[in-house]
Chain A
Amino acid sequence: EAQVTQNPRYLITVTGKKLTVTCSQNMNHEYMSWYRQDPGLGLRQIYYSMNVEVTDKGDVPEGYKVSRKEKRNFPLILESPSPNQTSLYFCASSLSPAVYNEQFFGPGTRLTVL
């Protein structure tokens, strides 16, 4: 089944404790992206990747890191989480970044930073 998977689905952590949210897609998509969803703000892009070893900042990159060592995986790293990073996070992928392409979303990771 074609899908985007994320782990964990739920995470409660404390300020300053490094964490990684994994994202994997099995559709051989070139383009992957991370978003955060906050009430009243819709989805905002954190980072994106056009292909292996090619990543760039989105609208809200502060406090996050990413890597793209393999085409299928695009982990999101929070080196020192803070309470303002409490949010619902989505990973997405598409065949290419072309403007007309559909993005496929993972099921989301709900993160709470105490």
Chain B
Amino acid sequence: GNSVTQMEGPVTLSEEAFLTINCTYTATGYPSLFWYVQYPGEGLQLLLKATKADDKGSNKGFEATYRKETTSFHLEKGSVQVSDSAVYFCALSKESNDMRFGAGTRLTVKP
């Protein structure tokens, strides 16, 4: 079945460091891919998405490129801030009503 695997956390970085959170997926065809972010005490909110191969999603300085050849959708940010501390979830949707989430990666950014 469809599934998402993302790197285990927690990840701890200093402010202004480069961030990569790896995400790979298993699915037939061309799923839509998402990154959601969960700030402490809140629900998930969409960070970015890509709906076809080679698309790049971007938002708030975060980027991820839909790589069909490597079945990946890695999240990157060039310079993280303390306010980016959160849990990040990679997700895919292939059929209607079948969104699959990764286990989540907790990021802590220290000043």
Contact = CB atoms under 8 A, between A and B. Distances in A.
Interface stretch (A11-19, A65-73, A77-85, A95-103): A95-103
Contacts of B4: 42
A43 B101 CA distance: 6
B103 interface: yes
Given A42-B89, A42-B103, A100-B32, A105 B45 contact: yes
B44 A105 contact: yes
Interface band, chain B: 20 to 34
Interface in A30-75: 31, 33, 40-45, 48, 50, 56
Given A43-B89, A43-B101, A99-B96, A105 B43 contact: yes
Interface in A1-35: 4, 31, 33
B94 A99 contact: yes
A10 B38 CA distance: 18
Nearest to A9: B41
B96 A98 contact: yes
B20 interface: no
B40 to A, nearest CB: 11
Contacts of A104: 45
29 contacts: A4-B43, A33-B97, A41-B103, A42-B4, A42-B89, A42-B101, A42-B102, A42-B103, A43-B44, A43-B101, A44-B101, A45-B99, A50-B97, A92-B43, A92-B44, A97-B96, A98-B96, A99-B32, A99-B93, A99-B95, A99-B96, A100-B32, A100-B51, A100-B93, A102-B46, A103-B99, A106-B43, A108-B42, A108-B43
